[in-house]
Structure 1
Amino acid sequence: MKRIFLVSCFTLFTLFSFGQEFLKGKDLSQIKAAQFSEAEIAQIGKELKANQMTLEQAEPLALAKGMSATEFNQLKVRLQSNGAVPTEVKEEQKKPAGTTQEGSVLAAKNAVVFGSELFTSKSLSFEPNQNMPTPPNYVLGPGDQLDINVYGVQQFGYSGTISKNGTINIPNIGEVFLSGLAFEAAKNKLQKQIGRIYSSLAGNGSKLSVSVSNYRTILVTIIGAQQSGNYRLSSMSSVYNALHVAGGPSDIGSYRKIELIRNNKIIRTIDLYRFLTKGDQSDNVSLTDNDMIRIPSYEARVTLEGEIKRPGIFEMVAGENLNQVISYASGFTENAYKNRILVKQKTISELKITDLNEMTYASYLPKAGDMISVDKILDRYENRVQIKGAVFRPGEYSLPANGTMTIKDLLKKADGVTENVFLEKASLIRQKENLTKEYISFSLQSALNGDEAANMTLQKEDVVVVFYNQQLLDSYKLYIDGEVRKPGDYTYVSGMSLYDLLLEAEFFTDLAASDVTIFRNKKDIVYDANDKEKIITFNLTIDPKNPEQASSFLLEPQDQVVVRRIVTFETPQMVSVTGEIFYPGGYAISKKDERVLDFITRAGGTSSEADKEAINVIRNQLVIPIDWKLMSKEPNSSSNLIIEAGDNIFIPNKKSTVLISGGVMFNTEVPYRKGKNAKYYIKNAGGAAEKGWMKKVYVVHANGSASASSSVFGIRKYPKVFAGSKIIVPEKPEKTKASTGEIVGIASVLASLAGILLAVFK
């Protein structure tokens, strides 16, 4: 038992170590996906999940560590088929477990640092295009694979790799030293060397084609990045590609002073802001073997917030002024108040603020930690007046820049007052200097006549309110419902009669009765608590063929008219009788409780070919079986179904076969033999198939009823079969087996339990 426990622990430790090795990014060039066991695949999946990393995120990291694309694709297929790792990280999993509050704030802060989007976007990678022609200045080295072809009068083809010694061994030519040569120079050298054997190259009878089919990998060291380390990249890679693979600068890394070190010398200082603000890719230089990219910590960062097009955190270099920082943020928004910018600064012991205006932007040099806030313009107008109410064009209007505007001038701008205006009174709402409001009433008629007292001079933010004449505004409705062609509500007009309303509703329908009811609100001037009646009802008799009788009844506002329907009128409800019947077709239900037998009798009875035992009723696409024998003996029984509108009574013809389908060797139709059960017919269909479930065999009879097999004391009893029946053998449900991951998990639990038991009983 102890030995088993130790072996289990050793296996788990080995798998865990392998998963850690994969994620920590050691040399993956020798890894073969086919050599992994299912347990190792499951462990890799667990490690990827523990690091909140998807397969898409792991791919560039694995390729950078030397793993070939073919091997990673094979590993990806195995991980996905095993279900060991998801293709996406859920939102709640994106925050690493155990992250401290300080670390969370720092990560959130870094997310808005200008330039960080270069390394968080999945659609941007700066990956070199290896399908493009080899650049003439590309320097060859050991590991580059060349395709060399001579075509024309003479033909020759060879594909080889430059050796560690820097040479390529070409058949019939010998070794040619190419390492360290630019591609164009190497091509010229090969032209001369190969031309010694293939003489047609010198006379242009043949041509030489040279291309790099597979680029070598180079080792690049990146420090100060989100994922610092040694990376194996394509020799076509550039600085931006290497930075993207490493996740970009760390949370405290600089975006402005990234150093490219070659042979222990800084050969270039990279400023990513040149690319972000101007599209300048001059810093995106090609890398060579053993290059180092060092990202130092930033020297100064400032924060821009408020009415800025791109708020965020911006890195500063010595000598940059506020104008340059604002340009990095793409300038101000349209609502920015540019004449005052508030700067919060950190001193040695406390904070202080500084106000800047447009004249001081160029002279102010931001300091580390500055928080620069741009406020918005005030939400008010310097020259606005408004007019509301009974004018043709209410809304906002501007005061003239030079001169004044009176109430009469504003009414003229609004195209005058409407016909239903109240001329006796209007209001002017004026805002005082203390921002309170006062209401000034004036005669609208006097203002229109130019009276100086009423026609006041307007100030900014004045609001003129012109009232409607309420007596002219009042409008009432009438309502009509029931058997008229256009029921609904209609506008009341003084003196309107019931005939007028019927005329608007396009008179009566064919189903209208002569009974017309009008409901009217009771309008009492004096309130009577004992009077419980609130509605007055008028019952009229109007001949639908002579609606002019209604012209004598005058309507009042809010009256509701209801035209009743003929009591005895009903649309015929139809039933169809089909199949082996003498007179098939449609029949109307003549009384409410008509049954199946009544309709069969009305249709002339069944023919000699009818299978009475198979009669059924189809209702709403569902089949209702009918027991003919019981229905004939007891006409009032439930089997003699009461028919509903839309039912179809179907009388099929006689059949002499039985259909067998489902989990049998051969779906077929077998001649009916009286007295034989379902098992006999299944045997005639070749017997049950491998997935056939004999315990669940059931029979659907010709009339739509069904019978299932049963078991009594372990003896299987199959249902009776009649002519026209269908025997159905269902298939057994598939059993799901435990996955490899589940088995590994169970084994881990058992090993842990074994360790506990060993410790208890030791």
Structure 2
Amino acid sequence: MSLFKHLFSALVLICSFSALAFTPSASQIEQFKKLPKSQQQALAKQYGVDLSVITGSSQSSNQPQVEEPTIGPRLVQQEQAAKAEPAKQNPNTVKPFGYELFAGEPTTFMPSETAAVPDTYLVGRGDQLLINFYGKESDRFEVIVDREGRISIPNLSPVQVAGLTFAEVKELIKVKVEQEIIGVKVFVSLGQLRSMRILVLGEAYKPGSYNVSSLTTVSHALFVSGGVSDIASLRNIQVKRAGKVVANFDLYDLLIHGDSSNDITLKPGDAVFVPSVGAQVKVEGLVKRPAIFELKKGETAKELLAMAGGLKPGAYTKNAVVERFNNNRKEVLTVDFSANSINYIPQDGDRVRFNTISSQYKNSVNLVGAVVRPGSYQWHQGKRISDVLKSVRGDLLPQADLSYGLLVREININGDIEVHQFDVALAIIKNSENDLALNANDKILVFSEFEEKQDEKLTLAATGSGTKKDTSIEQAATQGENSNQLSAASYTPYSRNNLLAPIIKKLKRQASTEQAIQLVEVNGSVTYPGVYPLTIGGEVADLVTAAGGLLESAYTKQAEITRMVDGDASKVEHIKIDFDQVVNGNEQNRIALQSKDSLNIFAIPNWQENVKVTLKGELLFPGTYTIRRGETLTNLLERAGGFSDFAEQKAAVFIRQSVKQQEQQQLARLTNELRRDVASKSFQDSINSSTLSYDEMNKLLNDLADVEAVGRLVIDLPLIVNNQQNLVLQDGDTLYVPSKRDSISVVGEVNYATTHLYKAGISVDDYLKLSGGLKERADDDRIYIIKANGSVKIPNTGSWFAVNNSEQLEAGDTIVVPMDTGHMDKLTLWSTATQILYQLGVAVAAIGSL
């Protein structure tokens, strides 16, 4: 102690002569700082020096002192290994429980000076008491309990306080002052507490002797020693006093239950001994606190589960997996943790894993389709469809099909299914025939009354294709991407196509030699022809309802069922039925369906839908007309009042949808053929300057692929009007009658493609010169004329530039100069492609001019 006093004296002298160049070394200041604060303050008071001058602290003595941290960063071995090899560390690795509490390293072992002192604190030698007099006299004294256990208060006799509690000392001093000094009251508090020396031994992180506060408990002793090592026991920490164990501290009680009753206050000379870890069991999976837990002797499986915080809701308790080392071998046990008495005693090295329960619901029914709240619902005995679907407006979407619903039921352990059909609306109002009783795991399907999305319907209507292609039973599960069916994205989410697809696949998979495939087919005049499940007790009327009902064109007097005789595909019979009698007749007339039955609903003979034809241009009454079947263009023109005075009948353009589809298919086929030919010849004659470049060919191919067909049917309208030709109209036909023409157009391989004013007597050669003449790659031997009515004129003379070629031109005609195919590596398809492009362009121009 005298050494530190000399050190302090030197520091004081240096501070007094601060003008000199002498400064204390860092090691000297550091040695002084290692002294307890009580000793630092005592020395500073003795020599009358401000302690902040030496320590560098600017904290005022009037300000409350902030307790310095006693624990700093600590890198345990696992963290060091994780830094060395981060890629090999698994974030889901289960770690020993409780050790992370000591993930720190001690920085100072100073006793806490700001902690509250309880009344049960035993006052001992070295404690400082702060005594304040008030009343008749006011004074303040700082007294220290001497080695004899006494305190000496000025003007009062010494008092023996060592071994008394703080509450007893306060009461003793109060009584003594009131007896010996009249009119004075006293207030007593503890100042600097005594420090004491303890030992922390065993599997501590830094075992050794520590100078700690007299308030230090077992847990504080563990903290100041840096915690425990990786193999330390947390369950049996011993406090030894004079060679005897006075307390056993179980850290699990503190960490899990918050019980600090055994965290006793230490006394001078106590030894805290941390033994090595005992039996350990790893608990992982669906528990709230997965970790490696230390077990005491005799602890049960329930206590182990409580250490892990209990099970998560999704844990499967009936079959917990226990891996155990037994006689140098590893074995697996299955333990039922749901039982009242768990037949499992944990052993050292066990690994307990709780797996998840099945994702499938138990005792539930599933609601799917066009409903407001799809999902799983509770099932109980006697529950019916009306208990799940209670209201049309409250439980169903507006587009729900109220006449068709399915109930899919599992019938065996293999998951095989059977299908029941019901009327959704009747089931909701509790009709006994349709309000089916439910079983556990049943699935209720409610369909949309729409099959395709609205934009897809409009596209199909524009192209003239149907809404759904008939599908045979054999093709139902084998349709690929190249089929003519609509794409999956074109169907509404709850369409028959989407909801029935998995059911049809399941029925096909479960078919065998013992049970025929439970599928039937309907074709003809129904809303949604196709393949449907054969429901339990299914009849012809049920199949028609499943297909969305009859179309307006359906012939109800007769229908046909195609059926295999005794399941033999080589023997087929055709059953003619009176549809009205079968559907609306008595029970005897009804026909039950069988596996692979195919129902065909005929259309009314000579039935036609609402057929419309459009007239545009120079007519007295243009517009859209509804026609009867077999009506001719001549009849329709009479109904339209004939032509106006400005009509150019020879230039009329007639558009037909069937022709448009054929042209579009021809364009697509021609484009594909050209692409193949260009690809095969792209590396040939690359140096020949007479060939087209790849960019030119690719541009022409792209133009050809982007062209939309017009569907022009070439007609001679004057002949039709004069009844010399007959044209029967079809649905979607359009007639464009332009006004009189007075121009000639020149297109193709000319230097300036344009339109010229028609003048009688001007020849083709003259019009070509007016357009700047021919380009180098023009084929002057194949120049042709597209007449105003769309026909192509080829002269009979050997030369295009004969004297009489002017007689071949009329107002509204177009002169076409094609490209020489020799510039395109002799690809013979180019001439066809360019001809189609020119003809389509002329037709579009004629329509656009109206």
Normalising by structure 1, what TM-score? 0.46
Select the structure with the greater relative contact order (CA < 8 A; seq sep ≥ 6): 1
Determine which structure has more spread, i.e. the larger CA radius of gyration.
2
